[in-house]
Amino acid sequence: MVFSSWPFIFVFLPVTLLVYFQLNRARRTVLGKAWLVLASLFFYAYWNWVHLPLILVSIGLNFLLGRRLARWPAGGDLRHKRRWLIAGIAANLLALAYYKYIHFITENLAWLWGLPVQMDPVVLPLAISFFTFTQIVYLVDSYRGETGHYDLLNYALFVTFFPHLIAGPIVQHSQIMPQFNSRWTWLPRESNLVKGLLLFGLGLFKKVAIADVFAGWADAGFDGTGPLDLVGAWVASLSYTFQLYFDFSGYCDMAMGVALLFNIWLPVNFNSPYRATSIQDFWRRWHITLSHFLRDHLYIPLGGNRAGRWRTHLNLVITFALGGLWHGASWMFVIWGLLHGLALVVHRLWGGLGWRMPRALAWGLTFLFVNVAWVFFRARDWDSARRVLAGMVDFSSLRTVPLADVPTEALAWSGWLGDALLRAMPAQLVAHLPALLMIALAFCIVPRPNAIHWATTGVTDAKVVAGTLVLVAALVATLASTSSVFLYFNF
């Protein structure tokens, strides 16, 4: 079930809220938690019920192992305890590897050994990357003795709570379970309802009115077959850069907004990353909880920055290469991760020199690098990426293009304005003018305060009115759209 779909907005969410707070009002808080777990499992199974047993088995086994680790005898063998933790993490990663990477692994081994390998397709279960990482975090916390007082119901709610289940944020039990156990969250709170609806409306608008519009131009550029000229290539790359930005930002706003309706504050996962002035700053703002997970559970165990400069650089590259692979079973994701890892190494080397760069230039270089790296993230394969990158440096295509060489469908939008526009500017620019104007608008939006800050601080009547208008506009756009899934649902 997609946050931007009418069944979620008009049926699932209102019914879930109403029943949950009615049970709490009747002092049936345990039943209220059970209702949220059942509703979240329905939310998950609505997409494909076949994989419901997988998440149920995963929850049961991880809970039992976490409970064993959390209640380990004080004088017990710590090496044996550590082996149980490693076995639990390995089991979770093996399940993830089978469902998400088995074809990638076998295809590459077959290519390496020159053997023909045929496998039946394996359907990727929804959200397996996110609930796997969430449960690994729980096992590590259990190993540290921080989860012994949680029962199966609390653990199931921690894993399945539907606002964060499908695409994050990756949460720790200590971030949300104390909130569910607090009596201050058991009944509706007007301030949280207002903030939650404001955030949800802004996120919905970002998704259906901005990200989905950019998607058409990005798909046309990346999924085409012919060569791209300079303008077309930059339109394609920037369209995907902003599609992903507003899609993921919109999802994060909606997830936090929905959680706030239940009086639950999720950790901030997206903090205006395109305002970053360095690649390190970017990763402090983009998918923040994933960055923390990779740092705490991969970079630091590899040695972090404790083993000398060059080992630190290697640890960064390995961490981000694996972080790229986490996004999908493709060498394109690995290349994207390697680029970011190498960029962080360059950032550290530059910082070691003690030199500083003008802020505007630092922002421009950071954004340019992020935009170019997204090409590999979006491209189906190397040829597709090379096609877009080649167009982005094809300055010879800026020469005047005869009108006859411009595809008719590229000018279809202009209507009666077409003749006047073609007299005023090159046909290439006219063909891409709607996208160029939308990209310019996106650049104007990026420096503004982010939605979370706007919606949760200093709520005024003017903000409520503005938020209501945005929500209504977003709902109208939702009913008129095909409601495509969020991009991070694919990961």
As annotated, the active-site residues are 327
User: Which two tokens mark 79?
Assistant: 């090496």
Q: Pick from 316, 348, 317: which is nearest to 335 by CA?
A: 317
As to burial, measured by CB atoms within 10 angstroms (0-12 exposed, 13-18 middle, 19+ buried), residue 371 is middle
User: Which two tokens mark 413?
Assistant: 């939008």
User: Which two tokens mark 37?
Assistant: 């777990």
Alpha carbons within 13 angstroms on the beta-carbon side of residue 392 total 18
C-alpha 296/C-alpha 137 separation (Å) is 10
What Cα–Cα distance (Å) separates residue 360 from each residue in 245, 344, 356, 365, 448?
20, 19, 12, 9, 16
Query: Could you tell me what percentage of the chain is helix, strand and coil, using 3-state DSSP and rounding each to the nearest 5?
Result: 75, 0, 25
As to burial, measured by CB atoms within 10 angstroms (0-12 exposed, 13-18 middle, 19+ buried), residue 91 is middle
- Could you tell me if 373 and 339 are in contact, meaning their C-beta atoms sit under 8 angstroms apart? yes
C-alpha 48/C-alpha 167 separation (Å) is 16
Q: Name the strand (E) or helix (H) holding 20.
A: helix 13-25
All residues at 6 or more sequence positions from 94 whose CB lies less than 8 Å from its CB, including other chains: none
Q: Which residues of 189-205 are buried (b: 16+ CB within 10 A; e: fewer)?
A: beebebbbbbbbbbbbb
Q: Which residues of 47-65 are buried (b: 16+ CB within 10 A; e: fewer)?
A: beeebeeebeebbeebbeb
Q: Name the strand (E) or helix (H) holding 143.
A: helix 128-143
Q: Pick from 159, 155, 151: which is nearest to 134 by CA?
A: 159
Alpha carbons within 13 angstroms on the beta-carbon side of residue 384 total 19
